[in-house]
Amino acid sequence: MSRDLHTTAGKIEDLRARVEEAVHAGSARAVEKQHAKGKHTARERIEMLVDQDSFTEIDEFARHRSTQFGMEHNRPYGDGVVIGTATVDGRPIALYSQDFTIMGGSLGEVHAEKIVKIAAFALKSGIPLVGINDSGGARIQEGVASLSGYGKIFRLNTRSSGVIPQISLILGPCAGGSAYSPALTDFTVMVNETSHMFITGPDVIKTVTGEEVDMEELGGARTHNTRTGNSHYLAENEADAIDYVKALLSYLPSNNMDSAPHLPPTESLDTKPSDTALDTLIPDNTNQPYDMKVLIQALVDEGEFLEVHALYAPNIVVGFARIEGESIGIIANQPSQLAGTLDINSSEKAARFLRFCDAFNIPILTLVDVPGFLPGTEQEWDGIIRRGAKLLYAYAEASVPLVTLITRKAYGGAFIVMGSKYLGSDINFAWPTAEIAVMGAQGAVNILYRKDLAEAADPVSKRTELVNDYNESLANPYLAAERGTIDTVIEPNQSRAYITKAFRTLRTKRDTLPARKHGNIPL
């Protein structure tokens, strides 16, 4: 039906028609194919993420300006990306959602301009930015214009780092230059067997190197969650991925000048069964593992812990929780994985998490049971000195409240690195089971008493005697407590009360770093 554009009513009808066209810019066939893959459309994903009726779209009428390769005959509204603002649990966010049903979600000049526009708005407004990525990559027909768009996005990602939280959802392909934007954001979430992220695809790799690899093995969600560490959560489906992002946002402030959402305290400090159970958490055999997550759940509100990077470097555990309704970050050695040793991957994982928390004023609780750094030529040659130093740097640089609890082993340089007093931790506790020393008893006895053991009539009983003597005199928390390295030794069942009171005391902490442009972290 024709509309009379000379009347107000006609112009309103024209607007409504254009909005309808913009909302349904992707063809019905493309939408059907998207659904057949178990994927939602760009707008459906936004509806799943944000509060009902809270989304305000921006630039829905934007169109590309390309005239090459017949592009002038295909100019859909939106140019393959939906941008705007909304609320999640009543808190404002900015977001973009790439639309694979329109030119494969490819990034052209206008597409990039829209992402830059909403990212700049998020930075200026001090609100989190959530990017939903589902794109075939750069739009070849637009040449260098699409490449320049990537550069502008990367620069804004970098400028926003440490100022507003940035979260990337990978819900389809994210190839070539597109992959660098999620790498520059704070958290990346991928969906198993749906998300793929790589710089060069399987065909290019085969052509150049002769290697044969499929997309899933090369850059699938499981690969990036277990091997590369590029993804922080492996979701079973899109709904799971979006739920994780919503949970993540609930622990984060809107910007680096704001505070994280505070929930009313729900628990008293009276001893409860989960507290007393900690008295038997540590096995009598110091080489027997236990699950550090049991301790985490006993210490935090409602036992709720949102783990980050759960499948990557599992010998260290990081994630968010609350104590008395306040958001905290937790870094904990995991004795059930590689005995809780620090290696390259775990050091980088913990350092990245710690620096995020420090940037956004989230206090850190460190739980220590670390026998040392993982030995081996592979670790040494791959750069454990430089890359392990990242965690040391992150702790030494941090100015947020830092509370540390040593449960068992705290040996050598790893003891120093894991939130020690020497690196600036504010309050340090230890259990009576703590072993704080240069090294474990067995190794120390081998070095200190090599001659005595060789000359002993009964080397086995002599070793047992020397090990016991070492443990009693050195491998305990009391020598450290005498020197103030440990503030107090506490019973395990008292941990929740002591840690809660420590964070209460530190709420008004102020720590100013020396004036400088930025430090030179050992990258």
For residues 242 and 333, membership in a common domain is answered with: no
Indicate whether 402 belongs to any domain: yes
Indicate whether 22 belongs to any domain: no
Indicate whether 467 belongs to any domain: no
Let me know if 32 is exposed, middle or buried by CB neighbors in 10 A (0-12, 13-18, 19+): exposed
What is d(CA 241, CA 190) in angstroms, rounded to the nearest whole number? 7
Instruction: Catalytic residue, from 126, 201, 303, 413: name it.
Output: 413
Instruction: Catalytic residue, from 104, 105, 176, 220: name it.
Output: 176
For residues 407 and 484, membership in a common domain is answered with: yes
What is d(CA 406, CA 429) in angstroms, rounded to the nearest whole number? 6
- Domain extent, residue 97, equals 28-251
pLDDT tens, residue by residue, 2-17: 678 889 888 898 888 8
For residues 204 and 61, membership in a common domain is answered with: yes
For residues 377 and 501, membership in a common domain is answered with: yes
Number of domains comprising the chain: 2
CATH at 413: 3.90.226.10
- Which residues of the chain are modeled with pLDDT < 70? 1-2, 67, 70, 73
Indicate whether 315 belongs to any domain: yes
For residues 328 and 422, membership in a common domain is answered with: yes
Indicate whether 452 belongs to any domain: no
Indicate whether 306 belongs to any domain: yes
For residues 488 and 399, membership in a common domain is answered with: yes
- Clarify whether 177 is annotated catalytic: yes
Indicate whether 326 belongs to any domain: yes
Indicate whether 12 belongs to any domain: no
- Clarify whether 414 is annotated catalytic: yes
Element spanning 113, H or E: helix 109-125
Residue 228 has what pLDDT?
97
For residues 87 and 236, membership in a common domain is answered with: yes
Decide: 316 and 333 in contact? Cβ < 8 Å.
Answer: yes
Amino acid at 110: V
pLDDT tens, residue by residue, 322-375: 999 999 999 999 999 999 999 999 999 999 999 999 999 999 999 999 999 999
Report residue 280 as tokens: 């038997």
For residues 195 and 309, membership in a common domain is answered with: no
- Clarify whether 413 is annotated catalytic: yes
Contacts 24+ apart (CB under 8 A), 512-519: 512/399, 513/397, 513/399, 519/393, 519/397
Q: How far is CA 375 from the centre of its chain?
A: 26
Instruction: Catalytic residue, from 26, 84, 105, 177: name it.
Output: 177
Mean pLDDT of the chain: 93
Residue 70 has what pLDDT?
65
For residues 150 and 234, membership in a common domain is answered with: yes
Give one DSSP letter per residue of 59-81, joined into a string. -TT------GGGGGG---TTTTE
For residues 231 and 311, membership in a common domain is answered with: no
For residues 247 and 277, membership in a common domain is answered with: no
| Residue at a domain's end among 185, 219, 251 | 251
